[in-house]
Structure 1
Amino acid sequence: MTRVSVFAPVRWAKTVPPILRSDGQPDQTAHYVLLALATWANADGTGARPSVRQLAQATYSDTTTVERALDRIQAAGLISKTCDLNGTSVWTLHLTVVHDGPTITDRRIERRRATDAERQRRRRARRAGQVGRHAVGERDVTPSDTVTAPVDNPVDNPDVTQSHTVTYPVGHGVPPRDVTGSDTVTSRTQDRDTRRSEVVYQPLLTSHLNQPITLSPDAARREDFDEFWSIYPRKVGKTAARKAWDRALRDATPEAILTGAARFAAQRAGQDPKFTPHPATWLNAGRWDDEDTPGLRAVSGGYRPWANPANHDAYDEELL
């Protein structure tokens, strides 16, 4: 059977007065069954013909629960059975039944609003009380007709402050400052000044400034590598050279590597740099241990064994 979906019966099922259980709470099962039944009704509420099994599937209930809910809804006067068609009941929804007063949901909303309003009122009252206490120095002071400081009454005790009479008009609370005009410094002030005078300020110790600065192992390794980089005659592949430097330090000291690099740089001075190995290659091969090889010297006649002679007639000479 094709299921017809309309909105008027569904809106009515949502706003209809709920069916109450014996304990006075809404019958939620009956409400869900009524909503599901409304989706099969026509616009005027007639012709709702779902099977009990279909209602059970729509409400995630069993067939017995749905049948009992239909009986309670029918007893409340919200629906009536029109006829049975091929073993399936045809229902009519009484859309004219509407609630004429606040529902249980409305009453719950009203109670929640009243609770929130009371909570807000108490919060405002607490804030007002805190503001009042701050205004008088965290104390509740009730202003009288006048606020009078101690009367002038000279005494011989030097620790007692001699005061003048100060009168404030009605309606003003005690100000947040001392209302006594003192002629002498109180003993409490004297004690505070005495304690301040006893404070001894220690000079800043500067002995540590003359101590040598010790670098961390990582900082010392970086500084040694920077010195090697400045000495080596070919500066390519710095990242690879830094990694090779760290590996080389496992077998040699920085001083030995730097000495070998300086010796190698002197050997390669004035020569084509493209034949100079990369720094990483030099370090990975342990070349800092190479012996000092003197440069090739020219033989008599200016002839160099690695260069062709200027006069090719030399090749025509008879060999002895």
Structure 2
Amino acid sequence: MSNEAVHWAMDRAPMLRTEKGKPDTTSRHVLQALAEHAHKDGSNAHPSVLRIQYRTGYDRRTVQRALRRLEDAKLISRDGMVQDRIKWQLAMSLTRPASDWEEIERAEEAEREATAARVRKHRQAKRVTDSASVTESDVTDSASVSNALELRYVTDSASVCNARSAALTTNQPSVQPPVTKNSSSPAAQTDAPAPSVAAISPTLAKGGPQQDHYLEAFGAFWLTYPKKKSREEAKKAWVAAIERGADPQHIVDAAQGYARERAGEDPKFTKHPATWLNKGCYDDEPDTLGKPQLRAVSGDGYRPFQLPKNVDYSKGF
């Protein structure tokens, strides 16, 4: 085997092309197999077709056609016979043009630019989609916009509750400043009356077109629900629930009932708002049963059950 011949076959020999203009990799592989059996000047290459089949993995007809294409391109020529095998001479004077490398570089650069353009287009489309999904639709006036924004804040202030009641009575949204979330007890929030959809979304309350105003009443639900997690996912679930035919006021009332059920419970077992909406929990029957509590009878009435003290349990009962 000659390193010079192998180097020529792998790097410097002209690349044949198929009818579609693609590199003829089959002929290239066969040429490399011939070079492994040639002298350093490219002469005396006489491997059998069977050897080339074993070396390349091609069938006999494929190898013969590749040898014919190489011979037609003047990259190899017949130089006699050796034991019933054709002896080939490699045309190592022929080299591939420098434009082949430049063509590959241009194709690589074009592919990088196309990939970058696809990434930019995808990111731009994602930004537009995200912006459209979280943007609340226009309300009837500027006061309604301010009210929808302010009602996102959780508060137990009596003055704010009075303002909500007035908005419910007059069917006109009122504007109140944001109040901090400091609350003396969980019951103070859960016992507050559920905000009316009419205070947030007069259009929905009056039965107007809902397609453009699904998110107007979302503030009332978010204010009421006992667990504030994944607001954007909750918005999508809210819109999906209304599109399925759920009434916004019914969802808000059910969320108020669920908040009362979860008062004083471990918050990690409270459903996320998106999960609660997607599963249609607003149609569940409220839990009217009290929480079970073990009690024992004593002489002075009922009291919570406690284990007896100073009892030796090793002796059994």
Given the two structures, how large is their TM-score scaled by the length of structure 2?
Answer: 0.41
